[in-house]
């Protein structure tokens, strides 16, 4: 540090009165408070009723209970791995490397919706499939899909309000039907989607389920042009209805056990089908299906050839954030996408620091 000083005579202007010093000091205080206040405002401290990722996560914990080390939603799951083989058909739609002819390794996770990691498998519970495609140069594509044809909500508030309405009553341990009725009265999109969801035929297991992206995305080609898309993983395995007499449905883990048995017999395959949206198709509303007859392109085959308990699978520690996208796939204007990214990240951060309790499907279940 320099030690020589500037001659002080140059610098001392007229002396200030005490009063003017107090005013200046007050001014400095106000400036600093304004800066700090702006930051508190940006951090949501002044708007305690606004929806934040943390408040979302708290509500999930209210409804599903706190389960150390598990996801807030889709808590029960099983890790899988395999590869995706692109047939090159997607390359004209998106410049993402994953659509060039060839193979990329995939890690995945099958799951059931709900915050309870030990819930009993049931045919009506929403099934999920999260996938991580690892592209050759270090880029990644992650997607989290479910077996519903449309999503019952079209914005984060609807999802949150539904969560609040489905909170079990402390006395009856069941959701209050009046609260749910009030929710539905305010959310016609959920009622509308419910009609479609009622008619959809559920399959007997994970292996013959179709998994849908639900949200719209955009594929960007090499010239920079983009088109709206939705995608589905359509099983090569034969469809069987969930209502047909199948494997021991009495078993608490029958869906996962059937998946393990099936994958150990032969690799399971799904076709990645990309549906191309047209002008006027809603990209910002996951509760509305696109009209029939949209062009569907089969861009390649997903092969899953090994299952692993969460105790050892890398899938447990992957956040299947739907906005982790390679160059060539972009978010649409669907407000659920940023919300999913934000809340998944919150869920991931919470469970990352928690002690990991054993999963329902243990390593010995997988070896059987």
Partner 1 sequence: MDSGRRQFTASMRFLHWLMAALVLAMLGIGIAMVASISDYHRLVSLHRPLGILILILVVIRFVNRRFSTLPPFPPTMSSQERYVASASELLLYTLLFVQPLVGWGMLSAARYPIVMFGSVHLPPILPHNVMLYAMLRTTHTVLAYLLFLTFLAHFGAVLFHTLIVRDGTFSRMAPWRVRAR
Chain residues in the site for partner 1 (CB under 8 A):
1-8, 10-13, 16, 21, 24-25, 27-28, 31-32, 35-36, 38-39, 42-44, 50-54, 56, 97, 137-140, 156, 314, 317-319, 321, 323-324, 326-327, 331, 335, 337-339, 341-343, 345, 348-349, 351-353
Measure the N-to-C terminal CA separation of the chain; round to a whole number of Å. 71
Closest CB to partner 1 among residues 137, 292:
137
Let me know if 58 is exposed, middle or buried by CB neighbors in 10 A (0-12, 13-18, 19+): middle
Q: Report the alpha-carbon angle 321-152-162, nearest 5.
A: 90
| Residue whose structure tokens are 């048995």 | 261
Q: Minimum Å distance from CB 172 to partner 1?
A: 31
Q: Minimum Å distance from CB 276 to partner 1?
A: 23
Output helix, strand, coil percentages for the chain, rounded to the nearest 5: 30, 20, 45
Q: Minimum Å distance from CB 265 to partner 1?
A: 31
Closest CB to partner 1 among residues 36, 180:
36
Q: Report the alpha-carbon angle 261-266-271, nearest 5.
A: 110
Q: DSSP letter string over 26-87?
A: HHHHHHHHHHHHHHHHHTTTT-TTS--HHHHHHHHHHHH---TTS-SSS-EEEEEEEEEEE-
Q: Minimum Å distance from CB 110 to partner 1?
A: 20
> Which residue among the candidates 15, 49, 74, 271 is catalytic per the annotation?
74
Active site residue 12: no
Give residue 218's Cα distance to chain centre: 17
Closest CB to partner 1 among residues 134, 296:
134
Instruction: Kindly give the pairing relationship between strand 217-220 and strand 296-308.
Output: unpaired
Closest CB to partner 1 among residues 45, 200:
45
Which residues are designated catalytic?
74
């Amino acid at each position: 540090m320099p030690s020589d000083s500037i001659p002080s005579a140059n610098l001392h202007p007229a002396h200030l009165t005490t009063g003017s010093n107090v005013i200046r000091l007050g001014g400095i205080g106000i400036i600093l408070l304004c800066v700090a206040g702006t930051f508190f405002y940006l951090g949501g401290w002044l708007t305690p009723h606004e929806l934040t990722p943390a408040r979302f996560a708290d509500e999930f914990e209210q409804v599903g209970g706190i389960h150390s080390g598990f996801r807030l939603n889709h808590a029960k799951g099983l890790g899988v791995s395999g590869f995706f083989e692109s047939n090159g058909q997607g390359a004209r739609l998106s410049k993402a490397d994953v659509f060039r002819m060839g193979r990329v390794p995939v890690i995945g996770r099958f799951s059931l919706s709900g915050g309870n990691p030990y819930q009993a498998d049931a045919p009506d519970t929403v099934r999920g499939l999260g996938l991580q495609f690892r592209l050759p140069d270090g880029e990644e594509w992650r997607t989290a899909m479910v077996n519903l044809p449309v999503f019952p909500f079209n914005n984060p508030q609807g999802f949150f309000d539904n969560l609040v309405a489905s909170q079990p009553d402390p006395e009856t341990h069941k959701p209050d039907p009046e609260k749910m009725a009030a929710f539905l009265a305010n959310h016609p999109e959920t009622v509308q989607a419910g009609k479609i969801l009622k008619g959809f035929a559920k399959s007997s297991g994970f292996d013959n389920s179709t998994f849908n992206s639900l949200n719209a995305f955009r594929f960007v080609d090499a010239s920079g042009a983009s088109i709206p898309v939705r995608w589905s993983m359509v099983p090569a395995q034969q469809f069987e209805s969930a209502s047909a007499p199948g494997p021991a449905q009495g078993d608490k883990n029958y869906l996962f056990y059937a998946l393990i048995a099936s994958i150990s017999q032969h690799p399971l395959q799904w076709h990645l089908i990309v549906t191309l949206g047209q002008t006027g198709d809603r990209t910002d509303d996951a509760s509305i299906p696109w009209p029939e007859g949209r062009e569907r392109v089969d861009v390649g085959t997903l092969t899953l050839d090994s299952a692993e308990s969460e105790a050892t699978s890398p899938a447990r520690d992957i956040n299947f954030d739907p906005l982790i996208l390679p160059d060539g796939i972009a978010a649409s204007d669907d407000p659920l996408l940023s919300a999913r990214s934000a809340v998944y990240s919150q869920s991931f951060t919470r469970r990352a620091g928690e002690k990991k309790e054993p999963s329902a499907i243990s390593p010995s279940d997988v070896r059987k």
